[in-house]
Amino acid sequence: MTYDYIILGAGSAGCVLANRLTESGEHNVLLLEAGGSDKSIFVQMPTALSYPMASKRFNWGYNSDPEPHVKNRQITCPRGKGLGGTSSINGMVYVRGHSNDINEWDASGAKGWSYADCLPYYKRAETWQGGEDDYRGGDGPLGVSGGNNMSGNPLYQAFIDAGVEAGYPETKDYNGYCQEGFGPMHMTVSGGVRESTSRAYLRPAMKRKNLTVMTGVLVDKVIFEGNRASGVKLEHKGKTQTLSARKEIILSAGAISSPAILQRSGIGDTDTLKALQITPLHNLPGIGENLQDHLEVYFQFHCKEAVSLNSKLGLFSKLFIGVRWLLFKTGLGATNHFESCAFIRSDAGIKSPDIQYHFLPAAMRYDGTPSIKGHGFQVHVGPNKPKSRGRVKISSAAPDDAPSILFNYMKHPDDVSIWRKCIRLTREIMAQPAMDKYRGDEIQPGANIQTDAEIDAWILDNVESAYHPCGTCKMGADDDPTAVVDNHLKVIGIEGLRVVDASVFPTVPNGNINAPTIMVAEKASDIILGKMPLDASTAKSWIDPEWKIRQRLKMPQREIST
């Protein structure tokens, strides 16, 4: 039971690696996954996205510890369980992040991970519905589209028009030259079906004789010979096994589980491991630290015209949508319904966007049930460059015990003050003439929430995770005491062990993290195989030339009174 490479986790990164490392046929690869098959109508149908996330079959169902700066609330932290990992349960939103976000990685010590270095791997991964250009890929494994491309619902365009009226740019492709502004949103949906990394990367690779996939595997720890990772101890079908790797062990279990596996293996902060009666093998205090995430709230309004999706939330309507999707893979079943969006800067002096909007033409809860009687719409919004940092640490040496997760949301005072700007800027945008025809009363936060104190209190009661945890195995320079992996994603001080997933992000990008996770795995596959990196891109990114002195291009036609 010896393989060249053993990959721990068949999620957004692990499926990419399984494909790329077996392409040549030279290497024998084992992919281990705790969950099972992703073959389910609720996984494959984009509009059914709330079902797999609510299922214990597909979701680990983690919760944070009581968050001390958010009224001691425990915040849910869904993580994918099964082939495709979180790419099989997420909202399918495809956002690469601003070029400045990726350049932060290189500047922080992750040399070779600038935007110019990474853009070619974004392109290699993708088949974009509009075809290849300087920014988008045309023949990659991952299909990316605009869902129904805003057809059939005027609210999508009204939101974009309102943003332009409020003085912001309109962008035709936020994953291209210009992220900043209002425009159509992209999603990992291809042919009307969820494009998880299982569907895009793993299914084609499973036909190869040099790839073995084991599901229902609970990884205990990595086994070492001296300071070299040599194998994996696991539980499978009630039996304990040890499997060996000739070349490398690659952790792709995600920002929660990858640091937990390392800690159970004796790698981490020595004092933390000793307290859990784990023999320390290598002191790396950064493991589990640097945890980052995005928070969001739902801004909801009544809709004065009967054009929202609230009329489609009944049982009969859902049945009709489902039948059409089953027969033709078209209609409302073939989209996540987030088809317009925005990325804006919260203030002058900020170089690139730090607030993100997802627009939804319905007033509903995440489980798909309506929030109101009648029609409504909502926009999901939150600041995306938090300064607060949390941590993940195991609660025991047992692999089936959930780790302790503390995000420390809102610990940094700047993370509190930017929320006030976020609420007021959103109200100003939604008050523009383009929304007059549709905008009814504000459902939440509600017109009575106005002062700083009222906004702060409402945020603490209502804020939720946007489900983007990352950073817990930070990539950085060898002399960075907080770094866990180097710029080749090797665990510092250990041979034969790498981490390839969102845990290696030094900082969280301004946007959903599935796209950059896939990019990291694409780039890592070349590094692991010793290939020359793809040629760096020379494509430029738009940045407001007057960003130092203005927050947007021009003043809005209409401002809301405060």
Which positions are annotated as active-site residues?
468
Calpha distance 22→302 (Å, rounded): 52
Of residues 35, 473, 67, 519, the one with CA closest to residue 254: 473
Q: Token pair of 507, please?
A: 């900082």
Q: What is the 3-state secondary structure (H, E, C) of 95-152?
A: CCCCHHHHHHHHHCCCCCCCHHHHHHHHHHHEEECCCCCCCCCECCCEEEECCCCCCC
User: Please, what is the angle between helix 413-430 and helix 452-462, to 10°?
Assistant: 100
* CA 24 vs CA 28, 121, 203: distances in Å: 10, 18, 16
Q: Could you say which DSSP state residue 519 is in?
A: H
Q: Residue 96 in contact with residue 508, Cβ under 8 Å?
A: no
Give the chain's radius of gyration (CA, Å): 23
Could you count the other beta carbons within 10 Å of the beta carbon of residue 198?
28
User: How far is it, in rounded angstroms, from Cα 291 to Cα 469?
Assistant: 7
Whether residue 175 contacts residue 142, with contact meaning beta carbons closer than 8 Å, is answered with no
**Length of the chain counted residue by residue:** 562
CA dihedral over 549, 550, 551, 552, signed as positive or negative: negative
> Residue 441: what are its φ and ψ, rounded to 5°?
-65, 150
Q: What are the residues whose beta carbons fall under 8 Å from the beta carbon of 268, sequence distance 6 or more? A: 259, 262, 280, 283, 284, 285, 287, 288, 393
Which residue, among 367, 425, 434, 442, has the nearest Cα to 76 in the 3D structure?
A: 367
Q: Which DSSP helix (H) or strand (E) runs through 219? A: strand 217-225
Closest CA to 175 of 219, 218, 136, 121: 136
Both structure tokens of 192 = 């009307």
**CA-CA distances (angstroms) from residue 398 to 38, 387, 394, 401?**
26, 32, 9, 6
Give whole-number Cα distances, 426 to 153, 163, 179, 355, 434, in Å.
Answer: 21, 10, 18, 10, 14
Dihedral over alpha carbons 112, 116, 119, 124 (to 10 degrees): -70
The three state secondary structure string of 272-313 is: HHHHCCCCCCEECCCCCCCEECCEEEEEEEEECCCCCHHHHC
Q: Which residues of 163-184 are buried (b: 16+ CB within 10 A; e: fewer)?
A: bbbbbbbebebbbbbbbbbbbb
Q: Which of 559, 520, 550, 555 is nearest to 119 (CA)?
A: 520
